[in-house]
Structure 1
């Protein structure tokens, strides 16, 4: 199994791609840059765009994982949906199954959440809604890490001190959800 992951630090923190590779016994390649938006992977003038477009055109992939910048699905959902839809179409054209990596709302009470002017529940609902739409529009799988964080017994334990990135436990949970989503699709 070959997996291409497109994202940013929410994808790479605490060795999440390596944990995913171990969970599935897969080869995982990562195209990521801290703070990157999915639109970057569509732009051939950027480093990540050029290599992503080449990888999709020239290499076989089973899954292409799409992870947007941390708050963009909640704050700029239309732009997110356009980029996700275009990347899903490219993944399908390459014979791969796109996977929407549904990331989490910022930790309840953290300063960055307060700056967005949303409550934890509001951000969660906005993010989750955007991910569901992206998966539907792109005929993609959805790895619902968003709900896994929100429904956890102790969600705060899943976050790094900044309230945005995952803790080691959060990254392992994300890897398990991603792996489960892909394994279920592979066995269907």
Structure 2
């Protein structure tokens, strides 16, 4: 299986989410997974699209006209505010994504949009009116990614699945997980632990959860019980985060979400033909 991640620091933090995803998928599938990232810090989809057309950029070969190798999946992650800002910013995201998914289609790849999470305290400094707190930012991000996927399908007839990492953060926030048999931090501390010190980027716990969400989204396999632990997390945390990923991805949302690339839960990619 060949997977390309196109995003920014939300992917490359903690050594790279793509490396964790590859380890999880290899355990799921019993096959070698090649995962590559193109994730400069702070990058936006318009910048990515520009780089696909720039021969000096590695993305020109990875995704643009400079290369021909196919990908099974391409994961697109936008700058962490853009899908939720509305107006000109979100329009520019959509227009760039329209070009990126066409390149993905030419590489025979299934497109996955990685829905990111709201900042721990929202973004009251730059956007106090629309991101006053975590809840408001998360809600706008979720709606933004859903709208982008729907519009890409409607106007370009290209189906894009969503890897709902942001909803996994939201699930943990809702749980307000207390001390119990698995000895996790009490109350909101569990949610706080998902973030790096800046309250924006993922901690190692956050990167592992992000990776479980992507692996579940791609395969239809549940994470609970996986032993791959490239970030060397405590076993109790591993089980907790795997359970959250399973709960979020396999929740029945009716027609609200675009379809996953599998029909029925249960490691469907084992049955498919994988690119070498």
- Residues 37 and 69 of structure 1 are in contact (CA less than 8 Å); yes or no, is this contact kept in structure 2? yes
TM-score by length of 2: 0.63
Specify the alignment match of 2:20 in structure 1: 19
CA distances 1:34-74 after superposition (whole Å, capped 9, x unpaired):
11111122112362542344478511100000011111111
Instruction: State how 1:108-187 maps to structure 2 within 5 Å.
Output: 109=121, 113-115=123-125, 116-117=127-128, 118=131, 119-138=133-152, 139-152=159-172, 153=175, 154-184=190-220, 185=261, 187=268
**3-state SS of paired residue (2:193):** helix
CA distances 1:94-151 after superposition (whole Å, capped 9, x unpaired):
21100000010111x36xx121212222111111111112222332010000111111
- Residues 3 and 36 of structure 2 are in contact (CA less than 8 Å); yes or no, is this contact kept in structure 1? yes
Residues 18 and 120 of structure 1: is their aligned pair in 2 closer, same or farther, counting only changes over 3 Å? same
CA distance in 2, matches of 1:100, 1:47: 22
Structure 1 or 2: larger strand share?
1
CA distance in 1, matches of 2:205, 2:146: 24
- Residues 14 and 207 of structure 2 are in contact (CA less than 8 Å); yes or no, is this contact kept in structure 1? yes
Specify the alignment match of 1:91 in structure 2: 104
- Give 1 or 2 for the bigger CA radius of gyration: 2
What is the alpha-carbon root mean square deviation over aligned residues?
1.9
Task: Compare 163-172 and 82-91 and name the one that shifted more.
Answer: 82-91
- Residues 159 and 167 of structure 1 are in contact (CA less than 8 Å); yes or no, is this contact kept in structure 2? yes
Higher RCO structure (Cα 8 Å, ≥6 apart): 1
Count matched residues: 185
CA distances 1:138-179 after superposition (whole Å, capped 9, x unpaired):
320100001111111332211101011000000000000001
- Residues 193 and 205 of structure 2 are in contact (CA less than 8 Å); yes or no, is this contact kept in structure 1? yes
CA distance in 2, matches of 1:89, 1:177: 24
Task: Compare 88-97 and 55-64 and name the one that shifted more.
Answer: 55-64
Gaps of 5+ in 2: 27-32, 153-158, 176-189, 221-260, 263-267, 270-276
Gaps of 5+ in 1: none
Residues 48 and 69 of structure 1: is their aligned pair in 2 closer, same or farther, counting only changes over 3 Å? farther
Specify the alignment match of 2:81 in structure 1: 71
